Chains A and B, each alone.
Chain A
């Protein structure tokens, strides 16, 4: 059975085989992974029959306070009654939905419809807000469209210069490195901007190691150099963009020595980077979470978009700007209505025409659709408060581990009147729930995923879910009918849902109208926008025009500003978070796979040997990391590859080792992205 990996946005092609109930994984030649798989992919089938897998709904027993197995009817009744009670007392918006970037397009779409129609609530958002929302907002305002990569991944292999900003694919998307190897074998240059010497940075021809939170200053200085050295493509700027003058005047204030003092990146390295980008035939700039997960994430990405536009890269064959999307369906998940302000097709929920179109597909009056809700962190932080929702339904997310300032969010979840979590394992969030619903895994359901290239792919069911387990779609359909949802009956088979999604997205920015499952099967996926059955899809965007009203890209002047929380005498170190190769996101899945647990058994705190010496800490000794918001504990891991003023920890673990206990919940004013990548901490011997 040919399908794709359940984990990241690379969506590696794989083959599943079933023999005597055991499922084995083999890599498959697909244009993104070219036959490669990382350890997460190889071991992904182990969770299908994991002993801890949930196979029955769980209900919290009021007497003992414990979760006990229950029938589906009892669980669905409890949810329906709970929702009705809350909505009668506190109104429709008192019930909220929290989705995930791992859900298929069909499920993300159905979840948005369920929230707006069956629940009638404006409160729906998802964990993608913690992922690439800053790049999405920056892409929208510059190009009029947000597609992670506006070109096929294979373009990376042919770039003469490739700049990665805050991206560590060697750990987060290992098979992608095959393209980078090809790129360098062809003589291309790889430049990496990262405060740590990551596995990716080690392979770079040039590594810029800025202080966390100073990427925007670096971007503006690179454009300053591009101007003074004559790398700016004047014809392109004149004919394909607007707004350059104001950006030119802003970056005139960012002479390289100023950025050097702020970031610690030598002027010579800034100049070399600008030269490598400015003189390359084909140059690509990619950002990822390192640049994006900041309270100035949108502006930071915009700084690099400005640079790319000034050099004339977007739309030039083989060149461009892109964002490396993280979650499996991080791209599709943000297009079809589980984002607070959006309807399917990347439409805005406050756009009257969009509302009329989607309402007609759903068979409800447009004026009954709720308005925009609030971004994820604001939503989570309001739960159980006087102004916030009293009930929450969580699908495919584990905010107890993944949200910033996680202890506070955990408290908010505990304050709810009703918490429902659907998952196939008892995540830290599920463990707090009043009702837990067991759902199907990726190999047990059909559907589509949209990968980091905007390429829509087919996920195929190898076998049905085990007894006692239902799919998310059937859960949503069952709840819809129990809640007597208005409008047309929502379908529960993914193929019919996709047909409806196509109609709902038709005419939108992310137009899937011309994409069918058959068409995906006939090719190696289909790139959106694809409005017509017979018409072409869109592997490359921006060749002739941008998706703005006048077809021109927009420059936006952006200024560096300090982090929301800078270091001080009490919290003298910068703290930054990230990932390790053998774990994925909040670790609910990967921490339960034996081989991955062996490879990455526990959290750690990475610190420079000089800092460790000052703290009197030896390698492997437990340390406590404290911020104004909380603390966590993990063994020290000494590394000369991190700046002595910065400490790092992966965020895949919960409990005492939860890195997000200390992270800052300051958010970007435009995207709502929390500042995961920088806050002030103190480190002590535990």
Chain B
């Protein structure tokens, strides 16, 4: 699309924007890349913000590697106010005009503020904070010093991550969710119930199937009124009610926009010189909201823009939702509501373990794993790669999956076949040890000297001792025959 020494401008320095800058830089040394980030911080890993909430790490630990200073011009704290497509420039809020040959929009998304009495999206009360950015995180942390009780509005993945983070800090946390079970987009009701139990063990209370009706907030605290007539008091209310793609810039520039900025398989918008990736992009009717697809998109844009592979295409892969933290281990993938195929389930609610799989055409169509499921890595890979499932499906629900059972040592030497190898290092069979005994060896040392069993790694000495013991008890009878 462009040649050498051309200028690519990236709007956004979040996980998608920083990534596309790195991918461009890795492919085109001569390319001039300018990244404009609205937040004042260096690029950071949004996924780690919930860990930041726990207090276990500091802000520097969430910083991502950046390519600034290596041919990439990174400007943070700069907001783009307009795209001038006719002249091929972007205008910034400090009056700058930056020309581009190609423009990449990675403007991300914004937290949704529910329409509730007491919540003005433009002027949120001090104790009501969305959970989206590093600055949000700072505001939450500033309050946790004195706060004792926190409420989280929204029982989706983000809300539960925030709730867990605050609970680990020692806060008394309540989650309010309008649907009768948690993470309703990824889970089924049974899994949601097990998850609620797990959260309860971590100090998180869940209030399900209730709608918030109003918020009252002042300098002293927050009160959330609910549709069932109850009201909940807290020192802090965290909003986790979903996100909305930030398409304002694209829409103002006249690009085709639906819920997100519309893009084709090469992530091009309705203007061929402008791409969009990440949360702000809508590809094939779908918004992603996850890092993995955003990074896959960044790669395709870099391949196309640098000319490395002008025909590269973004092929969405099914998403895996993962919540793994102290006390919680949840993986969900595919559509939990239904579809063709056979279903397998295992539930042990008392131990917080639940597993449900749907297999169609020898492939995993959907899965929910919650709690202690050693096969979780295998299940995710089978789903992600579309590989055939094991013949023995139990391996996916229980146990260490494809590794198979470790062969147990024979309970008694009497039960071992003569051909069984006792000493791997020196290939000594049980039969050879028995012959050595019959030739007169009567102690472990004599058997070792006679057969070399146990002289390698030494791991079979106990087995040799067991055979000596067994022969000393049984052999006189056999010899007497």
Residues of A participating in the B interface, judged by any CB pair closer than 8 Å: 27, 35-39, 42, 170-171, 174-178, 181, 197, 199, 202-203, 207, 209, 211, 227-230, 246, 248-250, 252-253, 255-258, 260-261, 263-269, 557, 581-582, 595, 598-599, 608-610, 613-614, 639-641, 643-645
Binds A, one of B3-11, B79-87, B382-390: B382-390
User: How many residue pairs between the two chains, A and B, have CB atoms under 8 Å in the bound complex?
Assistant: 154
Interface residues of B in 371-415 (CB under 8 A from A): 372, 374-378, 380-381, 384-385, 387-388, 390-391, 402-406
Contacts of A265 in B (CB 8 A): 377
Which of the listed residues A39, A175, A265 has the most CB atoms from chain B within 10 Å of its own CB? A39
Please, how many angstroms separate the alpha-carbon atoms of A255 and B161 in the complex?
15
- Whether B455 sits at the interface, judged by CB under 8 Å, is yes
The answer, among B377, B427, B457, for a CB contact under 8 Å with A36, is B457
B380 touches A261 (CB 8 A): yes
- Could you jot down 22 A-B contacts, CB within 8 Å? A36-B457, A38-B425, A38-B457, A178-B457, A197-B403, A203-B459, A228-B56, A252-B44, A252-B63, A252-B65, A256-B324, A257-B320, A257-B324, A260-B380, A261-B381, A264-B378, A269-B377, A613-B391, A614-B388, A641-B403, A643-B402, A644-B388
Enumerate B438-475 residues with CB–CB distance to A below 8 Å: 452, 455-459
**Which applies to chain A's interface (DSSP): helix, strand, loop or mixed?**
helix
- Contacts A266-B374, A267-B376 supplied; 13 other A-B pairs, CB < 8 Å: A27-B455, A36-B455, A38-B425, A211-B381, A261-B320, A261-B384, A264-B380, A267-B322, A268-B374, A595-B427, A598-B427, A610-B390, A640-B402
CB of A177 within 8 A of CB of B458, answer yes
Chain B residues touching A, range: 35 or more
Smallest CB–CB gap between A172 and chain B, Å? 11
Asked if residues B65 and A246 are in contact (CB atoms below 8 Å), the reply is yes
Q: A38-B425, A250-B65, A267-B324 are in contact. Are A197 and B404 (CB under 8 A)?
A: yes
Name which of B63, B405, B459 has the most chain A CB atoms within 10 A of its CB: B459
Which residues of chain B have C-beta atoms less than 8 A from A248's C-beta? 60-61, 63
Given A42-B452, A174-B457, A263 and B377 contact (CB-CB distance below 8 Å): yes
Task: Tell me whether B57 and A644 are in contact (CB under 8 A).
Answer: no
Scoring A199, A264, A267 by chain B CB atoms within 10 A of each residue's CB, the highest score goes to A264
Q: How far is the CA of A38 from the CA of B456 in the complex (A)?
A: 4
Contacts of A609 in B (CB 8 A): 391
Chain B residues with CB under 8 A of A608? 402
A39 touches B329 (CB 8 A): no
Given contacts A170-B424, A645-B387, contact A228 B51 (CB under 8 A): yes
Q: What's the minimum C-beta distance from A625 to chain B, rounded to whole angstroms?
A: 19
Chain B proximity of A227: nearest CB distance (Å): 6
Chain B nearest CB, measured from A187 CB (Å): 18
Interface string of B13-52 (1 = CB under 8 A from A): 0000000000000000000000000000000110110010
Nearest-Cβ distance from residue A397 to partner chain B, whole angstroms: 26
Tell me the complex Cα distance, A178–B425, Å.
12
A581 to B377, CA, bound (A): 30
Task: Evaluate contact between A37 and B65: CB separation under 8 angstroms.
Answer: no
Q: A174-B456, A175-B456, A246-B65 are in contact. Are A599 and B427 (CB under 8 A)?
A: yes
CB distance from B376 to the nearest CB of A (A): 5
Hey, which chain B residues are within 8 Å of A35, CB to CB? 455
The answer to whether residues A229 and B56 also contact, given A197-B406, A207-B403, A266-B376 and a CB cut-off of 8 A, is: yes
A611 to chain B, nearest CB (A): 9
Closest CB of chain A to B202's CB: distance in Å?
A: 16
**B291 contacts across to A, CB distance below 8 A:** 258
**Are A268 and B424 in touch, CB under 8 angstroms?**
no
| Residues in chain B near residue A268, CB distance under 8 A | 324, 329, 372, 374, 376
Also in contact, A181 and B388, with CB within 8 A (given A248-B63, A257-B322, A581-B424): no
A267 touches B63 (CB 8 A): no
- Whether A641 pairs with B380 at a CB distance below 8 angstroms is no
Question: In this complex, what residue of A is CB-closest to B322?
Answer: A257
Query: Is residue B62 within 8 Å, beta carbon to beta carbon, of the partner chain?
Result: yes
Measured in the bound complex, the distance between the Cα atoms of B377 and A639 in whole Å is 20
B66 contacts chain A at the CB level, 8 A cutoff: yes
Q: Which of B44, B378, B384, B455 has the most CB of A within 10 A?
A: B455
| Alpha-carbon separation in the docked complex, A256 to B381 (Å) | 14
Interface pair A170/B457, CB less than 8 Å apart: yes
* Chain B residues whose CB sits within 8 angstroms of the CB of A595 once the complex forms: 427
Q: A36 contacts which chain B residues (CB < 8 A)?
A: 425, 455-458
Chain B residues near A582: list those with CB within 8 A: 427
Residues of chain A within 8 A (CB-CB) of B320 are 257, 261
Q: Per a CB cutoff under 8 Å, which of B64, B292, B381, B424 touches A249? A: B64
Once the chains bind, are A266 and B377 in contact (CB under 8 Å)?
yes
B308 beta carbon closer than 8 Å to chain A: no
Alpha-carbon distance A486/B11, docked complex (angstroms)? 67
- The answer to whether the Cβ of B426 comes within 8 Å of any Cβ in the partner chain is yes
Q: Which residues of B contact A639 (CB under 8 A)?
A: 404
